[in-house]
Amino acid sequence: MQVLIITTMYAPDLGPAAPLVTMLSEGLVKLGHQVTVITTVPHYPSGQVPATFRGKLLWRSRENGVELIRIGLPSVNRKNLSQRLIQIVYFQLIASFVNIGHQYDVVLAGTPSIAVLLPYLRFVVLSRKPAIYSVHDVYPDVGVALGIFRHKLMIKAVAILERFCLNHAKLVRILSESFRTGLHKLGVPDTKMVLIYDWVDIDLIQPLPRENLFSSEYGIADRFTVLYAGNIGLSQGLENIIATAELLIDHKDIVFVFVGDGAGREFLQSQAMQKQLSNVQFVPFQPRQRLPEVLASADISLVILRQGIGSASLPSKTFSIMASGRPILVSVDEESETTQLIKRAEAGLWVPAEDPRRTAEAILSLRNNKALLDQLGHNGRIWAEHNHSPQNAVKQFEKLFRTAISMKNASLP
């Protein structure tokens, strides 16, 4: 097969999305398929483009067998939503006119539609090619819950764009069963949806000692560490963890460590300073090769979302934490797929979203029960190995692509 993938992030971008699509692309190549990826130059999470990727509209290369077509972007401050939109529009305009130089059998693109609409229109709709539309978050629901989409006209417009992409896809990949309700509202039948969970590099991320270069560098090797690693954005409600840290300020052995960056980092830092929280540390985004030791530095890792968002999202960091062999404290809506997954895997504890008191109680409970701490971490690692390997995901996508192509052929006169 010749597969075309449209995505705004690819390695070496940081964050969860880039390594996922990179692993998928390279895995398909290993199975003998030809893969072309239309993506951006590196820019995430800061929005700043490295000097080596400036000055050109297109950068073409072949990396580990994958043909990459990178769209040059202007550098912006991603914490500013309007500037972030400039990069999105720029990518779409250039990407929609790219000459990929060969035929392709199937297209993979994903949410949000506002980031991929124009190339999706060109390479799927106008070219009449079968597509898989991958839903990573349910729009406009997640934007409404975050307060990003406030006006009825904006909400309606986003829904129209999502419905357009969904309608023109042969199949819709979902990463959580809980997405079905939101997609039903957009007119997607159950028969069109296929569940494929996210995956994690279980060879890269493995259970490692608590005492390592990262934990030593930041002085947390001998403290009970509650870790949040990833995007510090609007959807997590991380101010509730700052409130939890305040409740536990007298427990000198406990430290809260935030690793990453995002629109919410400055606010969290200001809160921690105002409250004079000596038990809170902020660490910049780390290179991907350091992720195993970052995750290993935790005694507990956090997966957290604001109330009302859990049914429209399943954070991919969940699977990385599982692979690291550390227990998860999940603070997400109870009915969400994230919560149910952790309960099925017996890989952590659940506390209600936006409840600092219950979160503090759970942290103390785990700190005081090392046997449970170790067992939950072990359970998560075993679950990740059995259910979320890249090889398993690649085979599922390969089957999905073949099904989409056969549906296209069956509809031809």
The least confident of 78-87, 340-349, 383-392 is 78-87
Query: Cα(303)–Cα(334) distance, rounded to whole angstroms?
Result: 13
The full set of domain ranges for the chain reads 2-199+389-411, 213-387
The least confident of 26-40, 64-78, 308-322 is 308-322
Is residue 319 over pLDDT 70?
yes
What does the pLDDT look like over 393-406, one tens digit per residue? 999 999 999 999 99
What does the pLDDT look like over 179-214, one tens digit per residue? 899 999 999 999 999 999 999 999 999 999 999 999
Chain mean position to CA 114? 17
Residues sharing a CB contact under 8 Å with residue 172, sequence separation 6 or more, in sequence order: 132, 133, 134, 135, 166, 183, 188, 192, 193, 194
| pLDDT at residue 376, rounded to an integer | 98
| pLDDT at residue 411, rounded to an integer | 65
| pLDDT at residue 35, rounded to an integer | 98
Q: Write out the two tokens for 282.
A: 């902020």
Give percent of the chain above pLDDT 70: 98
- Region 217-230: mean pLDDT is 96
What does the pLDDT look like over 131-173, one tens digit per residue? 999 998 888 877 766 667 777 888 898 889 999 999 999 999 9
| pLDDT at residue 262, rounded to an integer | 83
| pLDDT at residue 328, rounded to an integer | 98
| pLDDT at residue 146, rounded to an integer | 67
Q: Write the secondary structure of the chain as one string of H (helix), E (strand) and C (coil).
A: CEEEEECCCCCCCCCCHHHHHHHHHHHHHHCCCEEEEEEECCCCCCCCCCHHHCCCCEEEEEECCEEEEEECCCCCCCCCHHHHHHHHHHHHHHHCCCCCCCCCCEEEEECCHHHHHHHHHHHHHHCCCCEEEEECECCCHHHHHHCCCCCHHHHHHHHHHHHHHHHCCCEEEECCCCHHHHHHHCCCCHHHEEECCCCCCCCCCCCCCCCCHHHHHCCCCCCEEEEEECCCCCCCCCHHHHHHHHHCCCCCCEEEEEECCCCCHHHHHHHHHHCCCCCEEEECCCCHHHHHHHHHCCCEEEEECCCCCHHHECCCHHHHHHHHCCCEEEECCCCCHHHHHHHHHCCEEEECCCCHHHHHHHHHHHHCCHHHHHHHHHHHHHHHHHHCCHHHHHHHHHHHHHHHHHHHHHHCC
Strands 131-135 and 34-40, by their bridges, are unpaired
Query: Cα(13)–Cα(78) distance, rounded to whole angstroms?
Result: 14
Do 397 and 24 contact (CB within 8 A), yes or no?
A: yes
| pLDDT at residue 307, rounded to an integer | 87
| pLDDT at residue 45, rounded to an integer | 81
Same fold? 2-199+389-411, 213-387: yes
Mean pLDDT for all residues in the chain: 92
Residue 106's DSSP bridge partners are 3
| pLDDT at residue 133, rounded to an integer | 98
| Span 2-199+389-411 CATH architecture | 3-Layer(aba) Sandwich (3.40)
Which of 210, 306, 294, 206 lies closest to 257 in space, CA to CA?
294
If one looks up domain 213-387 in CATH, what number appears?
3.40.50.2000
| pLDDT at residue 412, rounded to an integer | 56
Do 296 and 321 contact (CB within 8 A), yes or no?
A: no
Query: Cα(356)–Cα(362) distance, rounded to whole angstroms?
Result: 10
**Model pTM?**
0.85
Report, in angstroms and rounded to the nearest whole number, the Rg of the chain calculated over CA atoms: 21
| pLDDT at residue 154, rounded to an integer | 82
Instruction: Read off the pLDDT band of 84 (50, 70, 90).
Output: confident
Do 220 and 297 contact (CB within 8 A), yes or no?
A: yes
Please give the residue that has the higher pLDDT: either 378 or 287.
378
- Region 42-55: mean pLDDT is 90
